[in-house]
């Protein structure tokens, strides 16, 4: 009996069980186990045949798959370390840039405050100069009777 035969038998049994339940009948219990092993020989005959070569081949394939997975894991871990190191270096470089830009910003703000102070002083002096010029160079206005 092959795997397909076993699967077909299990499907047929489940189908019969569902039909019996649908019609309100008490179904026969369905066996949930399906054997994929070759049918064992009767006890009176020979001992069951064991295929050790296939088992060894499966073990070799499994160990090869595990070895491949370990190698891939090691490669990925190495790539992770490289990416982490690169990222850490980039973060440091960006932190240095931010610190430099913050210093430039502070200096620019200081220069802007100093320029405001100078501008205010210049406006004050310009106003004084304007007032002095107006008051100093103003000619007395003569009245109609010739008096000052």
Give the separation between CA 77 and CA 63, rounded to whole angstroms.
21
Q: What is the pLDDT of residues 33-87, one digit of tens each?
A: 555 555 555 555 566 677 888 999 999 999 999 999 999 999 999 999 999 999 9
Q: Which residues of 58-92 are buried (b: 16+ CB within 10 A; e: fewer)?
A: eeeeeeeeeeeeeeeeeeeeeeeeeeeeeeeeeee
What is the value of pTM for the model shown?
0.42
Q: What is the pLDDT of residues 75-110, one digit of tens each?
A: 999 999 999 999 999 999 999 999 999 999 999 999
Reading the block at residue 78, the tokens are 């190495």
Q: What are the residue boundaries of the structural domains of the chain, listed by start?
A: 1-34
């Amino acid at each position: 009996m092959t795997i397909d035969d076993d699967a077909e038998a299990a499907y047929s049994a489940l189908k019969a069980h569902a039909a019996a339940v649908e019609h309100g009948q008490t179904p026969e219990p369905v066996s949930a186990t399906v054997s994929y092993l070759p049918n064992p020989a009767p006890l009176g005959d020979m001992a069951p045949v064991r295929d050790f070569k296939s088992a060894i081949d499966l073990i070799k394939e499994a160990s090869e798959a595990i070895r491949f997975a370990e190698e891939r894991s090691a490669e990925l871990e190495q790539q992770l370390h490289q990416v982490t190191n690169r990222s850490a270096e980039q973060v440091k470089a960006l932190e240095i840039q931010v610190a430099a830009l913050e210093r430039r910003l502070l200096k620019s703000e200081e220069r802007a405050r100093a320029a405001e102070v100078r501008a205010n002083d210049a406006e004050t002096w310009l106003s004084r100069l304007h007032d002095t010029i107006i008051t100093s160079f103003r000619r007395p206005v003569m009245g109609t009777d010739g008096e000052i």
